[in-house]
Amino acid sequence: MTDHPSQIQTTFAEIQSKTEARASRDTGKVSILIGTATCGRAAGALEVVQTFTDELARQEIDAQVSQVGCMGHCYAEPMVIIQKPPYPPICYGYVTPGIALRLVEDFVLGDDPCLEFALGALEENELIPTVFELPRFKYDMRLILRNCGYIDPEDIGQYIQGGGYSGLAKALQMRPEGVIEEVKNSALRGRGGAGFPTGQKWDICCYAPGTPKYVICNADEGDPGAFMDRAIVESDPHSVLEGMIIAGYAIGASCGYIYVRAEYPLAVERLTIALRQAQAYGLLGDNIMGSGFNFSIELMQGSGAFVCGEETALIAALEGRRGMPRHRPPFPATQGLWGKPTSINNVKTLSYVALIITQGAEWYRGIGTEKSPGTAIFALAGKILNTGLVEVPMGTTLRQLIYEIGGGVPKGKRFKAVQIGGPSGGCLPESLLDTSIDFDSLSAAGAMMGSGGMVVLDEDNCMVDTARYFLDFTQKESCGKCTLCRLGTKQMLDILDDITRGEGRCEDIDLLIELAEDIKAGSLCGLGKTAPNPILTTIRYFRDEYEAHIIDKCCPAKVCQELVGYYILPEKCERSCDACVGSCPTEAVYTAKRGIKAIDQEKCVKCGSCVDACPPQYNAVVKISPKSLIPPSPPPKDG
């Protein structure tokens, strides 16, 4: 296969020049990039696209409008980048159709770059401050997010122009063992959660007896708070395909599958387009770039089961069965899909591969920490100012990530905990914020790199409720195969339910810990083995909150419905305003003597509508826990 390096080089050069010819036609024009991944769309990006296209057409301006993926700055969506030489590319945030009209009028037609709407320039220049002076951009180190939000994911040409598929061209000129060796030397660890060395997995798979061999890309992303795999697939699908093809070449597979979550329709659409284009360019299919290597990729949609993210369950789903995990070993690398050696890797893991091949293992190992080289990608969500995706070198501390990059907790609230790694991970308190972000430090603290979901909790979040939330999730998603996972999680959930209802007993905490250890020991797959983590870490770091629920029947964060009541402070109530009365869906709010409003605790469903309805200048509705502290309600006016 490796006899014709020059042939491969020539074929790849031809492919590159094809895309260059297309690109040169467009230079000189004003180019407008609009982020239309799922998050942008939710913020109204498609209306912004429409406004730009309509207005440019109306004014008969010859500019190019492209829909790009997600830059990861979800807090500032919809985002727009305008390239108008000689100006540097400028990035705008929070763009509305109104702002879009202004940008066309003043900047595309005129010469005012409307800096009041700009986040900054994307290149060093003398006129305009760059975005890289903002902390949210400054710490970002974009390896696999490098293209996200900058290229049109539906145009393979833009990916190739940025150096795309040169990793594949280079790999095809190497011997397969050489490719595996390079990945091994890079010490790349799988980003699907467990951090298994990718090179080693490929090595095992390559030398395992049995043909054909398979490559699977795990894009199931089941953690209910993570969206980086979605963002990569929607914004830069070819980087994943390129990694897969290289993996296939390295282990000697000729067929690959991508297993995508059904909840991600746009990801499926963009992958389908990407596959078609790669095929058309001869980057997939038979005799890729004249190397003699054949590889095809099929797309398979998941059907909504968290456990199918687990590799053996995923394989069962691909085979058309119920997605239940099986005992390992044998690991999929030796016996996977249809019993054949199968290398299964996460989306992010595969996205690194081409970079490692082009830039070398040394380069990759120079980033991050010794044991966890490279970057970490997190989806920042919850009570944090700058929500979205960040990519930082491993070894960054949680504090830097949350305060400097994420901008801290909004509305002046106090930070309480950060949940990392989703349902398998744990909650870490303020005192552990100086923990370095890498596979081993996070595990030592009781959390887990996991999927990379990172949800920040503030003083208004209850830790018992948070633990209950995750357990409720894993309990529902448990496939039911292992008794301890199926019944044990249910028992734990019942105990947590009791605690959040104020019916907990003092011995419950120890009982939870005991059950947790048993479930960990008695479950086959990672779902059961890690399901107790959220409970164990919250007990470890926030035991006082459990005790407040059990002993004082008090939810300190005032979240657990059964333990809180709503009360209208008479001294703050404006009396003549009826906002709360009108807002109540159950007629629990009534008017008492002298126009003061009060709440009938029996009728109240605790929906919180009255809190929202009460004008901020009065702020008269409060939550009280324990309920025994609520003063008795006054009689109604006419009663």
Partner 1 sequence: MVEDELLKGKVGEVLDSYKGERKDLIPILQQMQASFGYLPRVAMIEVAKFLCIPGSSVFSVATFYNQFRLNPPGKHPIKVCLGTACHVKGGERILESWERELGIKVGETSKDLEFSLERVACVGCCAMAPVSVVDQAVQGKVTPTRVKGILLSFQLEKEKQE
Report what 309 binds from ligand FMN, ligand FES, partner 1, none; CB cut-off 5-8 Å by kind: ligand FMN
Residue 225 near ligand FES by CB under 6 A: yes
Confirm or reject binding of residue 626 to ligand FES (CB under 6 A): no
Number of residues in contact with partner 1 under rule CB under 8 A? 59
Percent helix, strand and coil across the chain, each to the nearest 5: 45, 15, 40
Total Cβ atoms within 10 A of residue 600: 14
Q: Which residues contact 638 (CB under 8 A, 6 or more apart)?
A: none
Q: Could you tell me the smallest distance in angstroms from the CB atom of residue 155 to partner 1?
A: 23
- Residue 334: CB minimum distance to ligand FMN, A: 15
Q: Nearer to ligand FMN by C-beta: 131 or 308?
A: 308
How many other C-beta atoms lie within 10 A of the C-beta of residue 211? 10
Nearest approach, Cβ of 516 to partner 1 (angstroms)? 20
Task: Kindly state the smallest distance separating residue 196's Cβ from ligand FMN, in Å.
Answer: 5
Helices (H), 110-227: 135-138, 156-161, 166-172, 176-186, 198-207
Query: 196 is in the binding site of which of partner 1, ligand FMN, ligand FES, none (Cβ under 5 to 8 A by kind)?
Result: ligand FMN
- With respect to partner 1, which residue has the nearer C-beta, 581 or 607? 607
**The only residue of 317, 493, 557, 563 in contact with partner 1, by rule CB under 8 A:** 317
Closer residue to ligand FES, CB minimum distance, 186 or 474: 474
Q: Which is nearer to partner 1, 212 or 304 (CB)?
A: 304
Calculate Rg over the CA atoms of the chain: 27
Q: Which residues contact 150 (CB under 8 A, 6 or more apart)?
A: 33, 68, 71, 81, 162
Should residue 199 be labelled a site residue for ligand FES when binding is judged by CB under 6 A?
no
- 494 to 207, 529, 550: CA distances (angstroms): 48, 19, 14
Task: Give the whole-angstrom CA distance, residue 284 versus residue 271.
Answer: 13
Distance between CA atoms of residues 42 and 78, nearest Å: 9
Q: Is 319 in the site for partner 1 (CB under 8 A)?
A: yes
From candidates 85, 98, 265, 410, binder to partner 1 by CB under 8 A: 265
* Interaction partner, residue 416 (partner 1, ligand FMN, ligand FES, none; CB < 5-8 Å by kind): none
Between the alpha carbon of residue 341 and those of residues 10, 197, 203, 205, the distances in Å are: 33, 17, 11, 6
Q: Which of 309, 325, 388, 528 binds partner 1 (CB under 8 A)?
A: 388
**What does 55 bind: partner 1, ligand FES, ligand FMN, none (CB cut-off 5 to 8 Å by kind)?**
none
For residues 412 and 461, is the Cβ–Cβ distance under 8 A? no
Site string for partner 1, 290-309 (x = CB under 8 A): ----------xxxxxxx---
CB atoms within 10 A of CB 135: 15
In this structure, are residues 168 and 9 in contact, taking their beta carbons and an 8 Å threshold? no
Residues that bind ligand FMN (CB under 6 A): 190-194, 196, 198, 218, 220-222, 307, 309-311, 344-346, 349, 525-527
- Least gap, CB of 345 to ligand FMN (angstroms): 4
Please state, in angstroms and rounded to a whole number, the distance separating the CA atoms of residues 20 and 481: 54
In the complex with ligand FMN, the residue whose CB is nearer, 524 or 614, is: 524
| Positions 530 through 559 that interact with ligand FES (CB under 6 A) | none
Contacts (CB under 6 A) with ligand FES, residues 154-183: none
Q: Report, in Å, the least distance between residue 16 CB and ligand FES.
A: 38
Pick one of 135, 210, 224, 570: the residue that binds ligand FES (CB under 6 A).
224
Q: Which of residues 550-589 bind partner 1 (CB under 8 A)?
A: 585
Q: Would you give the binding string for partner 1 spanning residues 399-438, x where CB under 8 A is met?
A: --------------------x--x----------------
Q: In angstroms, what CA-CA distances link 452 with 47, 95, 226, 444, 523? A: 31, 28, 6, 16, 23
Provide, rounded to whole angstroms, the least separation between the CB of residue 183 and partner 1: 28
Least distance (Å) from partner 1 to the CB of residue 416? 11
Report the nearest approach of ligand FES to the CB of residue 389 (Å): 13
Query: How far is 33 from 69, CA to CA, in rounded Å?
Result: 9
* Beta carbon nearer to ligand FES, 384 or 445: 384
Report the residue number, 201 or 558, with the smaller CB distance to ligand FMN.
201
Residue 78 or 225: which CB sits closer to ligand FES?
225
Of positions 224, 292, 570, 626, contacts partner 1 by CB under 8 A: 224
Of 16 and 466, which has the nearer Cβ to partner 1? 466
Beta bridge mates, 90: 82, 121
Contacts 24+ apart (CB under 8 A), 237-240: 237/153, 237/267, 237/270, 237/271, 237/273, 237/274, 238/153, 238/156, 238/159, 238/164, 238/165, 238/274, 238/278, 239/144, 239/147, 239/159, 239/164, 239/350, 239/351, 239/354, 240/271, 240/347, 240/350, 240/351
Choose among ligand FES, partner 1, ligand FMN, none what residue 489 binds, the Cβ cut-off being 5 to 8 Å by kind.
none
Nearest to 564 by CA among 495, 462, 417: 462
Q: At 1, is the secondary structure helix, strand, or coil?
A: coil
Binding-site size for ligand FES (CB under 6 A) equals 2
Find which of partner 1, ligand FMN, ligand FES, none residue 272 binds, CB within 5 to 8 Å per kind. none
CA distance 386 to 380: 8
Question: At closest approach, how far in Å is the CB of 37 from ligand FES?
Answer: 13
Do residues 566 and 610 lie in contact, with contact meaning Cβ atoms separated by under 8 Å?
Answer: yes
153 binds ligand FES (CB under 6 A): no
Task: Give least dist CB 505 to partner 1, A.
Answer: 26
> According to the binding rule CB under 6 A, does residue 266 interact with ligand FES?
no
User: C-alpha distances in angstroms, 442 versus 398, 434, 439, 446, 543?
Assistant: 10, 11, 6, 7, 20
218 vs 461, beta carbon nearer ligand FMN: 218
Nearer to ligand FES, 224 or 330 (CB): 224
- CA gap 600, 315 in Å, rounded: 55
Q: Is 529 exposed, middle or buried, given 0-12, 13-18 or 19+ CB atoms closer than 10 A?
A: middle
Angle at CA of residue 443, ends 442 and 448, nearest 5°: 75
Burial label, 319 (beta-carbon count in 10 A; 0-12, 13-18, 19+): exposed
- Interacting residues of 109 by C-beta distance below 8 A, sequence separation 6+: 59, 61
360 binds ligand FES (CB under 6 A): no
Q: Identify which of residues 309 and 382 has a Cβ nearer to ligand FMN in the complex.
A: 309
Q: Rounded to the nearest 5 degrees, what angle is found at the Cα of 415, between the Cα atoms of 412 and 420?
A: 135
Query: Where along the sequence are the contacts to ligand FES (CB under 6 A)?
Result: 224-225
Query: Where along the sequence are the contacts to partner 1 (CB under 8 A)?
Result: 38-39, 41-43, 74-75, 77, 221-227, 230-231, 262-265, 300-306, 317-323, 379-383, 387-388, 419, 422, 453, 455, 457, 461, 466, 469-470, 473, 479, 585, 605, 607-609, 612
